[in-house]
Amino acid sequence: MKKFVVIAGVLCAGVIALGYGNVQADGFSRSRSVHSNAAGGVTGKSSESVNGPNGGAAGRTRGFATDGEGNAVGGSKGAFTTPSGARGGRAGFTTRSADGTVNHQSGAAFNGNNATGNTSSSFTRDSDGTASGSRNTNIESKNSDASYQGSTTYNSTDGLQHSGTCTNANGETVSCK
C-alpha cells in the first residue's frame, strides 16, 4: 500500500504540475483528461485558467489516480492575482487506502493590500474510524500590525478544540470578538 501511495503521489504531483500550460490573454482556458493507468486504475486531471483585461488572473488544477484495488490519491491547487497586486494560492493533497485510511494535507496563503495570511491543515482517519485533524491560521494587518493566530484541533476522543489570539498594533493581546 505504501508503494502505491508513493507512486500515486508522484503521479498526482506530476499531473497537477501540468495544469497551467495554456493560459490565454484576456480569456479562459480549460482542459480535462481521464485515462486508464498501469496500476489498473484511472488517472485524471482538469485545469482552468482565466486572465482579465486589467491584469488579474486565476487558475486551478486538480488531479487524481486510483489503482483498481481501492486505493486513491488526489490533489488540487489554485492561485489568483488581482490588478491591484493582491495574490494568493492554495494546495491540497489527499490519499485513501483500501482499508479506509484517509490522510489529507492542505495549505493556503494570501498577500493583499491590507493584510497577509496563511493557513495549513491536516486530517487523518485510521482504518478503525479514529479521526484527528488540525488547522492553524495566521493573519496580519499591513495597516496597523494587528494580528490573529488561531489553532483548531479535532480528535475522536476529545472532540473539537479551538484557541485564538488577537493582538493590537502595540502587540497587546485583545479580544478577538
What mean pLDDT value characterizes the chain?
88
Pick from 152, 76, 80: nearest CA to 111: 80
Residue-wise pLDDT tens digits, 133-168: 999 999 999 999 899 999 999 999 999 999 999 999
Residue-wise pLDDT tens digits, 43-53: 999 999 999 98
Tell me, what's the pLDDT at 177? 75
Residue 29 sits at the vertex; the CA angle it makes with 25 and 31, to the nearest 5 degrees, is 150
Residues paired with residue 63 on neighbouring β-strands, in sequence order: 45, 75
Residue 112 has pLDDT above 60, yes or no: yes
Q: Which grid coordinates belong to 42? A: 484511472
Pick from 137, 131, 125: nearest CA to 162: 137
Counting the structural domains of the chain, the total is 1
Tell me, what's the pLDDT at 23? 39
* Rounded Cα distance, 148 and 121, in Å: 17
Confidence of residue 27 (pLDDT cuts 50, 70, 90): confident
30 or 53: which leads in pLDDT: 30
Domain that holds residue 50: 2-174
> Cβ distance 113 to 84 under 8 Å?
yes
Number of C-beta neighbours around residue 100 at 10 A: 12
* Rounded Cα distance, 154 and 104, in Å: 14
Tell me, what's the pLDDT at 4? 39
Number of C-beta neighbours around residue 32 at 10 A: 10
By percentage, how much of the chain surpasses pLDDT 90? 79
Tell me, what's the pLDDT at 22? 41
- Kindly state the average pLDDT of the residues 25-29: 76
